[in-house]
Structure formats: structure tokens, C-alpha cells
Amino acid sequence: MTLETDISCLRRLPLFRALPGPRLKLVALMGERLHFDAGARIIAEGEMPEGVYVVLEGEVEISHERSDGRSKRFLLASGSIIGDVPILCGQSYVGEVTAKSDVSTLRLPKDLFFELLETIPDFSIALSRDLAARLYRLADFVLHNEKVH
């Protein structure tokens, strides 16, 4: 993909929609475009995050194998962001992230992610809303034992 394609992909995501054009271009330039074939491991459980991944295309699976042999899994689609929570908490990844299909991501270094949070209020608000929506879906699942959507 080209720089213009990356910018176009980012602009479609609610998290990046409010970024001014020059800042969006900087994000696309400073981000590292990575491609993962279906089945490839993107992040190992227990790994410390060095950046966040924006899923531009494809679907990823987050999984955790329990000691009793059972596992928990859920899917994230294009437009999802991975790694923001562990970076904000200063914690490691709680599950393994693998490519469920062929996946294209833009990996934003930790420093750039924090710079966006500190300098662009609209980005901070968009991330807060995204985190709140994920927390709400998780609470709904826990309380009603329904599928997380």
C-alpha cells in the first residue's frame, strides 16, 4: 500500500478521524506497516508492548490457553486497535494475538502513541470513547453471559 492508501485507511477509523491532515500523514509515515499471513503470531502472551497495532485489513484473534486445557478466544476486525490497554497500564499482553486471516497493520511506536494522546485532545477523547465502549461490552458479557460484540 502507498502512503495515501494508509492515510485513507486511518481516516476511516473513528480513532483517527479527528486528526488534522498533517498529523494523520505523520502517523502514517511514522507507523510501521506490517503484514501477517493467516495463522501467524503477531504478539506473544506476556510480551511487553512496544507500540500499538491498528488493524487496517483482516481479522485477528486474541486467545489465552488456561492451565486446565481450556481456552478463551475472541476476534477483532479491521479498524481495531491492539496494545493500547497494556501500554496505558504498563502491563504485558494477557493473551496471544494471531492473524485469523491475512492481516495488514500499522504499528505505531509507543512514543508516537503517547505524543498523540498528549498533543491532540480529539485523539484522547476518541481513544477514551473507544476504551469505554470496549469496557461496556465486556461488562455486558460478564453480567449477561452473552457474546461480546
**What domains lie within the chain, and their CATH numbers?**
3-139 (2.60.120.10)
Predicted confidence at residue 147, as pLDDT, reads 56
13 strand-pairing partners: none
Q: Which of 6-10, 55-59, 84-88 has the lowest mean pLDDT?
A: 6-10
Lowest-confidence region among 1-15, 71-85, 87-101: 1-15
How crowded is the C-beta side of 114, counted as CA atoms within 13 Å? 11
pLDDT-based confidence at residue 146 (cuts at 50, 70, 90): low
pLDDT at 95: 93
- 69-75 contacts, C-beta under 8 A, 24 or more apart: 74/148, 75/100
